Structure 1
Amino acid sequence: MPPRWPRKPTREDPAYRRLEDRINFAVHVAAFIAVNSGLWFFHTLNPAWVGWVQWFTLAWLPLLVGNGVYIFAIADYSPAPLSPVESTDPGDA
């Protein structure tokens, strides 16, 4: 059974935004592993076919690490301060 979110999910909710960012990072890690393992497998079979595989991995890995550092160390998931909202009630004028 999938987990349920106790309230309506929005990007303004800090807890939901944190969870969404971490799930997104997990999907990116899975894609990195799947694509790179496939490329390295074919590179092992025929090194001339994918000679650029090491450059591809070395280009993607720092982006993935940077994304992880941002999500786990830099991102601020504290609640945003409430902005003043103008009244739409015609009796307030």
Structure 2
Amino acid sequence: MANFLTAEQAKVYSDHAKLDIELYKQRLASLIEENAKQGNTAVFTVLPKHLPLEDIRNLSAQLTDLGYQVRFELNEFFYSFNVYWI
């Protein structure tokens, strides 16, 4: 049986994680490569809302320059980021 953290514990962990856009770039790069090797054409990732929007825009521009299509959505508590290639 899986044991879940309480929401309060998750918030404490999240507050102390000190995540920045560079960590998300590395993970997204890995997801893109893994998906491409499996023949998939899209990657979806969720970014925490505390990341600066300018950093996310820069990431989107970098991916667009590399030929990817990026769909970015702003949700109430997080950003969603879809990367496509055709």
What interval of TM-score do these two structures reach, taking the shorter chain for normalisation? under 0.3
Bigger helix fraction: 1
Scaled by the length of structure 2, the TM-score of the pair is 0.26
Structure with more relative contact order (C-alpha pairs < 8 Å, separation 6 or more): 1
